[in-house]
Amino acid sequence: MDPANITVVREEPEPCRVRLNIEVPAEIVADRFAAAMNGFRRQARLPGFRKGKAPDALVLRKFDTDIRQHVQDELIQMGLKEALGREEKHPASRVELSNPKQLRVDVNDSFVFAVSYDVDPEFELPDYRALRIEEADVAVDDAQVAGAVDEWLENQATFEVVERPAAAEDLLKVSYTGQLTEPLPDGEELPESAKALLSPSAETWVPLREPGILPNVVEQLIGCVAGDEKEVVVRFPEDYFEEFLRGRTARIHMTILEVQGRSVPELTDEFAKNIGAEDAAAVRAVFRQRLELEGRVQRYQALRRKVLEAVTDIPDFPLPPRLLAAETQTVFMALLQSEFQRGVSDEELEGRRNELYNQAREMAARRLKQRCMLLEIAKAEGLEVAPAELTEVIREMSRREKVPEKRLRRRLEESGRIYLIMERLLVDKVLNWLVARVDGTDEAPDEKGTFGPAETAASDAAPEAAAAAPDSEPAADEEGGD
Partner 1 sequence: MNPYRIVQSILVTEKGTELAEDFNQYTFRVARDAAKPDIRRAVEEIFDVEVAAVNVMNRRGKKKRVRYGTYGKRADWKKAVVTLKEGSEITLI
Instruction: Please give the residue ranges that form the binding site for partner 1 (CB under 8 A).
Output: 48-50, 53-55, 57-58, 61
CA distance 400 to 394: 10
The three-point CA angle 89-93-96 to 5° equals 100
Q: Cβ 47 to partner 1, closest distance in Å?
A: 8
CA distance 74 to 68: 10
Q: Cβ 72 to partner 1, closest distance in Å?
A: 23
CA atoms within 13 A on the CB side of 459: 9
48 vs 453, which CB is nearer to partner 1? 48
Q: Cβ 80 to partner 1, closest distance in Å?
A: 35
Q: Is 457 buried (19+), middle (13-18) or exposed (0-12) by CB count in 10 A? A: exposed
Q: Cβ 33 to partner 1, closest distance in Å?
A: 17
Inter-residue contact 1 to 48 (CB < 8 Å): no
54 vs 71, which CB is nearer to partner 1? 54
47 vs 453, which CB is nearer to partner 1? 47
Q: Cβ 53 to partner 1, closest distance in Å?
A: 5
59 vs 84, which CB is nearer to partner 1? 59
Residue 55: CB atoms within 10 A of its CB come to 11
Q: Cβ 29 to partner 1, closest distance in Å?
A: 22
24 vs 54, which CB is nearer to partner 1? 54
CA distance 439 to 307: 10
Sequence letter at residue 273: K
Q: Which of 117, 227, 99 is nearest to 161 (CA)?
A: 227
50 vs 342, which CB is nearer to partner 1? 50
The three-point CA angle 348-350-354 to 5° equals 110
Q: Cβ 34 to partner 1, closest distance in Å?
A: 18
Q: What is the largest CA-CA distance in the chain?
A: 107
55 vs 223, which CB is nearer to partner 1? 55
Residue 73: CB atoms within 10 A of its CB come to 13
**Those residues with Cβ within 8 angstroms of residue 220's Cβ, 6 or more apart along the chain or in another chain:** 230, 232, 233
53 vs 246, which CB is nearer to partner 1? 53
CA distance 217 to 211: 10
8 vs 46, which CB is nearer to partner 1? 46
Report the phi/psi class of residue 437: left, alpha or beta, with left for phi > 0 and alpha for psi in -120 to 50.
alpha
Inter-residue contact 305 to 312 (CB < 8 Å): no
Residue 158: CB atoms within 10 A of its CB come to 10
CA distance 92 to 85: 15
61 vs 399, which CB is nearer to partner 1? 61
Q: Cβ 109 to partner 1, closest distance in Å?
A: 22
Q: Cβ 61 to partner 1, closest distance in Å?
A: 6
46 vs 425, which CB is nearer to partner 1? 46
Query: What does 21-73 look like in DSSP terms, one character per residue?
Result: EEEE-HHHHHHHHHHHHHHHHHH---TTS-TT-S-HHHHHHHHHHHHHHHHHH
Q: Cβ 59 to partner 1, closest distance in Å?
A: 10
Q: Cβ 42 to partner 1, closest distance in Å?
A: 15
**Those residues with Cβ within 8 angstroms of residue 104's Cβ, 6 or more apart along the chain or in another chain:** 68
4 vs 57, which CB is nearer to partner 1? 57
Three-state DSSP class for 109? coil
Q: Cβ 54 to partner 1, closest distance in Å?
A: 7
**Those residues with Cβ within 8 angstroms of residue 250's Cβ, 6 or more apart along the chain or in another chain:** 178, 179, 180, 181, 198, 233, 234, 236
